[in-house]
Amino acid sequence: MFQVSMAEFVNDDVLEKILIGLDVKDLIRCKSVCKSWYSFITSPHFIYRHLNYSYNNELGHRRITSVTHSGFNCRFCHDHHHLVGSSNGLVCISSLRSELLVGNPFTREKIKLGSEGLEVSAIGLGCMGMSGGYGPAKPEDEMIKVIHHAINSGVTHLDTSDVYGPHTNEILVGKALKGVKREDVQLATKFGIKLGESMGIHGEPEYVRACCEASLKRLDVDYIDIYYIHRIDTKTPIEITMGELKKLVEEGKIKYIGLSEAGPATIRRAHAVHPITAVQLEWSLWTRDAEEEVIPTCRELGIGIVPFAPLGSGFFASGPKVMDNLADNDLRKIIPRLQGENFDHNKLVYERVSEMAQRKGCTPSQLALAWVLHQGDNVGPIPGTTKIENLNQNLGALGVMLTAQDMAELESMASFKGARMPEQILVHSYKNSDTPLLSSWKSE
């Protein structure tokens, strides 16, 4: 049994003696070390940059064979870490215990979406809030730093849309990508929503092409990785919209096609024209109605799932304080779930989630995000943030391991009241996404 006093710093040689021969899975599941040590030793940066291991396909073992010595600079905060012992004064690596886990998102630095070969980071970055939505737009230079920090931390799946700003969010993301190797990021944007006196939805072929060309220019890139139909145009057969998107794939302007807020029938019809790589939808402890039909349809067809707002528009991050000091143009001011009696009820749910998070040694937001991450290898949430510290906290969710019992407990307590969005937005949700039959279409 190798033990290290809490007063000692663990240098590279000692660390190597501790780690070599361990199964990576057991290291990740270790609950006996202190939080600061555990968070660093099980960070994606450490696992994938400093540990070399052999893999036994038959037994599923990944035994650590060597440790790369390079100063152990944490990718999350960029500081040099001296690792210390446990809170009770000892680090006893031999006392590792395994648990029956539902899944282990932590070992997945990348995940696959769809069947066409796209790989993205296990956690993405939703960029909408940088340019509005949740209050006024944030300073551009600060947001570029957040995006750079995300990429440097392994968060390479960046999500934007032409309607965010509008247009300014794509320009921001484009500026942030200057100097970044294009192949190192997976860039997603969307089209289909026109903002004016009312929310107009369009999917006509000429509109699709014009939007794509404009997004390429604003982003200043040669191609878009995932191009989503942001909302479904119920006046145009989905096959017509998909036909133009298929042409854009063939021309190399987009690589993969996605749908956002699409119902099962629309997903099937779209997928028959060209493989759909991902469906974006609101799916979290906060909102689970898509589990009835949309999620099963995606799984059946091998389509990736990209949950937006996995932290309930900041509810799991801030709890009751989420509504404090909001700007007049903050979307949360009109979300029914965050108003009046609904909010009073939902604050009680938050308290129960918070209590469980405390038992698990994580924050409520990490627990909520971990629940999403445990939904499968083809699920890649895109939590949004405008702060580096919040991004780091989101990454910490990768190290939160949940058992089947944990998952069931969370699901039993997550009974929220109120609509997830205001009616003027819900009217364009997946529940209202059926389009006319192709046979009825007459091109003007």
CA dist., res. 111 & res. 380, Å (int): 7
pLDDT of residue 294: 97
Same structural domain for residues 138 and 193? yes
Same structural domain for residues 184 and 58? no
383 in a structural domain: yes
Higher pLDDT, 295 or 21: 295
pLDDT of residue 58: 43
E strand intervals along 132-202:
157-159, 186-191, 193-195, 199-201
Same structural domain for residues 178 and 282? yes
Residue 93 has, within 13 A of its CA and on its CB side, a CA count of 22
103 in a structural domain: no
Q: Which pLDDT tens digit goes with each residue over 26-48?
A: 444 443 333 333 444 444 434 43
Model confidence band, residue 19 (pLDDT cutoffs 50, 70, 90): low
Statement: residue 188 has pLDDT above 50:
yes
The mean-pLDDT minimum among 8-22, 39-53, 237-251 falls in: 39-53
pLDDT of residue 401: 84
Statement: residue 178 has pLDDT above 60:
yes
- For residues 189 and 144, the answer to whether their CB atoms sit within 8 Å is no
* Domain CATH number, residue 213: 3.20.20.100
440 in a structural domain: no
How many folded domains does the chain comprise? 2
Map tokens 């991450």 to a residue.
Answer: 373
Same structural domain for residues 18 and 126? no
pLDDT of residue 60: 44
pLDDT of residue 59: 42
Q: Which pLDDT tens digit goes with each residue over 330-347?
A: 999 999 999 999 999 999
pLDDT of residue 442: 78
Model confidence band, residue 197 (pLDDT cutoffs 50, 70, 90): low
> How many other C-beta atoms can be found within 10 angstroms of the C-beta atom of residue 71?
8
Model confidence band, residue 441 (pLDDT cutoffs 50, 70, 90): confident
Same structural domain for residues 265 and 352? yes
Same structural domain for residues 20 and 54? yes
Of 65, 98, 131, which residue is a domain's last?
98
Rounded percentage of the chain residues whose pLDDT exceeds 90: 68
Same structural domain for residues 137 and 237? yes
Same structural domain for residues 380 and 248? yes
Statement: residue 278 has pLDDT above 90:
yes
Of 64, 98, 132, which residue is a domain's last?
98
For 292-315, b/e burial (b = at least 16 CB within 10 A) is: eebbebbeebbbbbbbbbbbbbbb
Same structural domain for residues 203 and 345? yes
Model confidence band, residue 3 (pLDDT cutoffs 50, 70, 90): very low
Q: Which helix (H) or strand (E) holds 304?
A: strand 304-308
Same structural domain for residues 63 and 117? no
Rounded percentage of the chain residues whose pLDDT exceeds 70: 75
CA dist., res. 167 & res. 176, Å (int): 15
pLDDT of residue 443: 66
Q: Which one, of 110, 114, 125, lies nearest residue 158 by Cα?
A: 125
Q: Kindly report the length of the chain.
A: 444
Q: Which pLDDT tens digit goes with each residue over 354-383?
A: 999 999 889 999 999 999 999 998 999 999
- Give me the mean pLDDT over the 105-133 stretch: 87
The runs of H, that is alpha helices, within 167-204 are: 168-176
437 in a structural domain: no
Highest mean pLDDT among 52-61, 109-118, 279-288: 279-288
Statement: residue 309 has pLDDT above 70:
yes
Residue 218 has, within 13 A of its CA and on its CB side, a CA count of 23
Q: How far is CA 110 from the centre of its chain?
A: 12
> How many other C-beta atoms can be found within 10 angstroms of the C-beta atom of residue 245?
27
C-alpha torsion 178→280→155→41, nearest 10: 180
pLDDT of residue 361: 86
181 in a structural domain: yes
Statement: residue 94 has pLDDT above 50:
no
pLDDT of residue 118: 97
Q: What's the mean per-residue pLDDT of the chain?
A: 81
Of 36, 70, 98, which residue is a domain's last?
98
Statement: residue 435 has pLDDT above 90:
yes
pLDDT of residue 402: 86
pLDDT of residue 403: 86
231 in a structural domain: yes
pLDDT of residue 46: 43
Which positions are annotated as active-site residues? 164
104 in a structural domain: no
Domain that holds residue 93: 3-98
pLDDT of residue 20: 54
Statement: residue 75 has pLDDT above 90:
no
The mean-pLDDT minimum among 86-90, 170-174, 337-341, 415-419 falls in: 86-90
Statement: residue 77 has pLDDT above 70:
no
247 in a structural domain: yes
The mean-pLDDT minimum among 54-63, 120-129, 263-272 falls in: 54-63
Same structural domain for residues 255 and 229? yes
Same structural domain for residues 373 and 233? yes
